[in-house]
Structure 1
Amino acid sequence: MEASERKIDLFEVAEIKLSYSTKVKNSLRPKVGTSRQVYEVFAKAWEDDRIEFVEDFKVMLLSRANRVLGIVTISSGGTAGTVVDVKLVYAAAIKSAAQSIVLAHNHPSGNLLPSEQDKRLTQRIKQAGNILDIPVLDHLIMTSEGYYSFADEGEL
């Protein structure tokens, strides 16, 4: 059996295109300025049957005027945690031309206090944002009955 040889062109690469398009007018997007407003927007985007069931991690993408460009689910996990890839957080932010972001995840247990792991993850994402000039404005822990704001509590 003969091995087929294929000449490899070292200059053949995939073309990568970045684009952003929206169907929502800027004036119709919600504007957030407080943790309460952020919580209300996230609460509408969260699936009611999941908030007390499994942990999800979402990112709110914001314009320079703090208008919500969109909310993206970065990861879904089990009942006690989820794995967050910082690269995916910023891939979404860059693709949407976000000027800042707000993080959120839920605690199915109903506990509003952040774990040490929550604090470390927040700092890692914040450091990446500092390098990319896409700041993290807040990180909310969501439950069906309320929220905890890292920014409000001086944890950011």
Structure 2
Amino acid sequence: MPDDQKPFPISQWSLDDRPREKLLKRGKGALSDAELLAILIGSGSSKESAVMLCQRILSTVNSNLNELGKLSVQDLIKFKGIGEAKAIAIIAALEIGRRRRVEDALERKKITSSQSVFELMQPIIGELAHEEFWIIYLNNSNKVLNTEQLSKGGLTGTLVDVRLVMKTALQLSATGLILAHNHPSGTLKPSNADRDLTKKLQVASESLDIKILDHLIITQHAYFSFADESIL
């Protein structure tokens, strides 16, 4: 690379262009994703600045932070300039962001639509590589009383303890239940196992005057609602 094309170290940038100084002067919203990541890792390599390195990393995941969050330490240290400590810093920061989304969703306690269920559950199960099945317990105002994992690893062959679900519902004085599980494959089509489990829980809950309000299949970016499709 000719000398006049060598990347300038961040320390030689204009103060207004340095990520840390830019954040202090203009606020966090003024920074790009690459600049925010550059603050985390602190430095790049001899051939590129921290910002350029982070731009290169982001380009491999189409600038999608959700996809970046799926990379492991081993994936990240393949990039020259990223050691184990920097990789861990990136992973930790993205995990904090994911947990913040979960907490934000939990603060919005009232379920008003299938979209609000998706907003509650997507941060919890939408990006998992395995299948999990959850129950949302609601009171008569459709406010969330509790969310609980029912099974992990797929429904086929899984023994679902319906009695435990109903026991929890009675303990919480729940009047409504919403079922939710993820499809890591990305498909939104309900399987026979999805339908069978929904029916099984419907039959059990009816005798206790508890209503199954919906069942959502959740993927990273979308969802399928049994209630919206009138198949409950």
Aligned to 1:12: none
Shift in Å, 1:89 = 1.8
2:121 is the counterpart of 1:42: yes
* Deviation readout 1:104-147 (Å, 9 max, x if unpaired): 11111111110111111111111111111111000001111111
2:144 is the counterpart of 1:68: yes
Tell which has more relative contact order, 1 or 2 (C-alpha 8 A, sep 6+): 1
Contact 1:54–1:77, Cα closer than 8 Å, also in 2: yes
C-alpha separation in 2, matches of 1:60 and 1:68: 7
* Counterpart selection for 2:153 from 46, 69, 77: 77
Q: Structure 2 counterpart of 1:37, which letter?
A: S
2:112 is the counterpart of 1:33: yes
Superposition TM-score, scaled by structure 2 size = 0.50
Cα distance, 1:57–1:90 mapped onto 2, change above 3 Å: same
Question: How well do the aligned residues superpose, as a CA RMSD in angstroms?
Answer: 1.8
- For structure 1, the 5+ residue unaligned runs are 1-27
Cα distance, 1:62–1:123 mapped onto 2, change above 3 Å: same
Q: Structure 2 counterpart of 1:66, which letter?
A: N
Question: What is the identity percentage for the equivalent residue pairs of Structure 1 and Structure 2?
Answer: 42
Shift in Å, 1:95 = 1.7
Shift in Å, 1:96 = 1.4
Q: Structure 1 counterpart of 2:118, which letter?
A: Y
Contact 2:125–2:181, Cα closer than 8 Å, also in 1: no
Q: Structure 1 counterpart of 2:229, which letter?
A: E
- Counting only pairs closer than 5 Å after superposition, residues 1-156 of structure 1 correspond to structure 2 as 30-44=109-123, 46-47=124-125, 51-77=127-153, 81=156, 83=158, 84-156=160-232
Paired residue total: 125
Shift in Å, 1:91 = 2.1
